[in-house]
Structure 1
């Protein structure tokens, strides 16, 4: 009599178990700020200066003394010109300074009048202006330190650097940044049926052969996550070849990532190969697509520590979605980033789903011109066109039917890849 199957593990439980095995990598490196996009900051970034460093004008116009509107008329003599990068002289009563955006405010001035609010008078050689309105103290002035105060922590360790963060670091004069080491990831595929594009013309494909699509999108996803990727190619369906590839990869990599081949069939050699070099856990996750998932650790023979192993499903959509949900958090944590909780958008469904799957289901979907969500007609885990067509995934709870107009949780792909 067959033993009863173990219940499927929830996605949240599986992710919790997985992340419990992951510790941030210890190494750091110094990189040029210019080249640090997508890297993770290893130390707090503390400002050694004020930004802006001095009070400056946020407009082209005239620096003035607001007290002159009490003590004298609004006609002022223009006594100097202050472009950006130059210091001006102190203003006396009844004087104004022609000033340009970013230029330091001269001593004595406490307001800037936009050039549109000043009329230049023809006085036969003496430049004067008549100001329309009454300037308020501080108007159109950017104060020293209003962006960043000296001694402030402006970016915390664990921040994943993007264009805005790099600009902020540059504004503090930092030409180099200390960042977490890149996760070193070995990527390979298993299966004698796999063929690389370019090796065989589509018209001449052998019976039963398929082009290896997973290898391409997985490598691209790894690069987007800031990884250093070693592409170990396609490993033939032999146990000795699989053991040899895993042994080599474990010595020099933090993570080994495969897709397909983690099963119990006669040609599925990844499971016994991983077990021969370490240990392997096979999880059946209550999610669709992407139920089969493998995690393990491999011993290193000539180096300290162990290498993590992750085996993804072979179907392309399952592999892609499982990477986003399970592998992405691992790669973030390896770099010292606490994986953030995704915040789905609540949007109206412009489709009907008569019967929800018994598993938590991730439907390929996109927003339409009416602001609603529509789903791809074919939600099969082998239909990679659904990922190209879609803008994200609808996260649908187990057994949940959906009627047109219901609010659904939609997570854009851009949130995962940001």
Structure 2
């Protein structure tokens, strides 16, 4: 049974869709190509270098958090039994020696109240804390003085040992991306190194005779290379080790020479994956297709807009992913085809957060293709399209913060129709 259309959307049967490979099938092929890289043994990295990496093994807590019973407030550590059976009223206590954070206190005797600072160890015998602002007087008297405190129950304002994390418990499973909170947890557990999955080393190769050197004046017919910096930033942000090169030519031999250098590089410099941009479509000067003819790289057209032309395979044992040359096509290819696979295989980068929200305005989409539109999520929680569907609209891409996914069998959507949105 085919899925029911969303409110107001138009679906159209399309024939010949088998001529285009589906996005799901292409992702599966990328996963098959890169899968062996995810099986590499993890490495122990210094904690301060692990930001953005994924754990290679389950992380067990070597200690409990908190490691001891401690005070949640600045106040007075007391024995709740000293209040007797009454649930209200107050009692006067003799003030014991104060307890600072980091000190090991003496046991607390009956009838005593010890001034205690937030985070300080609860003394033996104490089982509750009365906040200082509830005391009379609402300050810390000198040792040996007296203070009146209201009734508290056992455990009041006490952080019990292990109430956050128990020693031996798995606190972060393998594959977890190490963000600031995860780094903080590992540090709080006393860890200085963590086992991480080795990030991919990716070489980006932009191609095209039209690409001008950066910083120079454009000659007629030239453009600046946006693809290399765009993908380098995306990969680096995702925790990978990225490098970029530009082949300013449509001569297949020059691209072949660059790929050969990468494939034959010494172990420490050889990339795990090469991503090329440009030269994969149906034109007369498709250098990437020509350079890789006869190698184990398959070129196909996906049922996706933008980013339809794609290449995938190996060159001298080196995995090669070939993206089209328009910058938005490169971005969509990364976000829709490669990033989800890496999130699944490695745990880093994290998969994009996905929502269903209403469209702020109508849209049209070609039958038989997943159309990926750039959008902004508005304060009213609607998705406002930014720019048109064109694959050259860098300004619109930079102004967007979301991707709208329009399914292959949807050709029109009105304002207010629910759509799947990936937050970027």
> What TM-score does the superposition give when structure 1 sets the normalisation length?
0.88
In the alignment, does 2:54 pair up with 1:40?
A: yes
- Aligned to 2:66, the other structure's residue is in SS state coil
Which of 208, 214, 220 is residue 221 of structure 2 equivalent to? 208
- The alignment status of 1:280 with 2:292, answered yes or no, reads no
Deviations along 1:168-188, whole A, 9 cap, x unmatched? 111111111222222111111
2:273 to 241, 255, 274: 255
Q: Does 1:223 align with 2:233?
A: no
Q: Which residue of 1 aligns with 2:43?
A: 29
Structure 1 residues 380 and 124 mapped into 2: Cα distance closer, same or farther (>3 Å)?
A: closer
Segments of structure 1 that go 5 or more residues without pairing to the other structure are 300-305, 414-418
Q: Distance in 2 between matches of 1:311 and 1:124?
A: 75
**Greater RCO (Cα-Cα under 8 Å, separation 6 or more):** 2
Deviation at 1:193, TM superposition (A): 0.6
- How big is the shift at 1:196? 2.7
Aligned equivalent of 1:404: 415
C-alpha distance in 2 between matches for 1:333 and 1:25: 13
Could you list the structure 1 runs, at least 4 aligned residues long, displaced by more than 3 angstroms after superposition: 121-126, 263-266, 329-334, 338-343
Structure 1 SS opposite 2:80 = coil
SS for the counterpart of 1:182 is coil
In structure 2, distance between residues paired with 1:411 and 1:384: 18
Q: Does 1:12 align with 2:24?
A: yes
Gaps of 5+ in 2: 1-15, 265-269
How many equivalent residue pairs?
396
Please show how residues 116-155 of structure 1 align to structure 2 within 5 Å: 116-120=133-137, 126-132=144-150, 134-155=151-172
Structure 2 counterparts to residues 8-407 of structure 1, below 5 A: 8-23=20-35, 24-70=38-84, 74-120=91-137, 126-132=144-150, 134-198=151-215, 200-201=216-217, 205-251=218-264, 252-276=270-294, 278-299=295-316, 306-332=317-343, 336-337=346-347, 342-353=352-363, 355-358=364-367, 359-398=369-408, 399-407=410-418
RMSD across aligned positions (CA): 2.3
Decide whether the 8 Å contact of 1:30 with 1:177 is kept in 2: yes
Q: 1:67 to 1:404 in 2, by over 3 A?
A: same
- The whole-number CA distance in structure 2 between the counterparts of 1:337 and 1:183 is 12
| Counterpart secondary structure, 2:289 | helix
Paired residue secondary structure (1:275): coil
